[in-house]
Structure 1
């Protein structure tokens, strides 16, 4: 009796269509790493890639009866992966575009016309990022941005050099901005922090 690793893709598909679990296992073993490499190259996210691969193979098992034996199995799996990745990227782009449009609205609209709940939510997100800063950096940053003190005033109050204060504020912005940008709220930081 032939081992499954010796079967062609078409033979494995025929067995898969009849509900043969070992043929599914062989297809999985044969294509998992190749599919993973292709999807990861497009997404650059390990967990999301694993989720995509899991979904592709789950659908292969569930919809095995719909596969035509004449299909190129590798091509079929690659097409499924590409379509899934494109859907993910499109949803991500739509979310990002929506967040950017909200940020632009916040930036270019008179604050009094903003929906107060959205404004509070944005301020809360930024406040959470500020609270994650190291304690001394946070103190300096808050004195600069919330109390509107100059670097010289902060330096005098905290017995530091002007240069140290300036560097701490710059470092805080370097930490906060990328986090805000990741949330698609890049323009909001300009609105909140001038």
Structure 2
């Protein structure tokens, strides 16, 4: 285990700016799973998600002078990944209603919000709201978002129509968004990506 793993993001960013490959490796190991998860949830394509992840980290290594003075490296990397995903969506590489609405929603999030994301806290807030859903609604929501089943697959599994499944998921999202907004709204962006 490298002694660099105990360094803060600020310290690691400074080392990367000075060309430290071990510091870059620590940052990569620290954040690649998180970033890949966010990218994959938006694109739903493993290869394209890997390509964008590689672009994010390649840019970090090749253009260290672009790294701003920051206290949240995860937020910075996430911002880069978000822009790359939105560019891919805008190029019509991905066409469906979910991605189009997601692109609009994510575009409205402020850069300031992204710089102060604490992903673990946000995911905990979202999971808490999901757990508070009525049992059937929660089951449908989790089958869609966690098991990646289609509306048709969920309907068949639960013996209900695709339309009922769609309504349940939409209602779940509205309830979760409302409750997160009421509690300060900081987790709304992550909810948009959590799919």
TM-score, normalising length: structure 1: 0.46
Higher helix share: 1
Q: Which has the larger radius of gyration?
A: 1
TM-score, normalising length: structure 2: 0.46
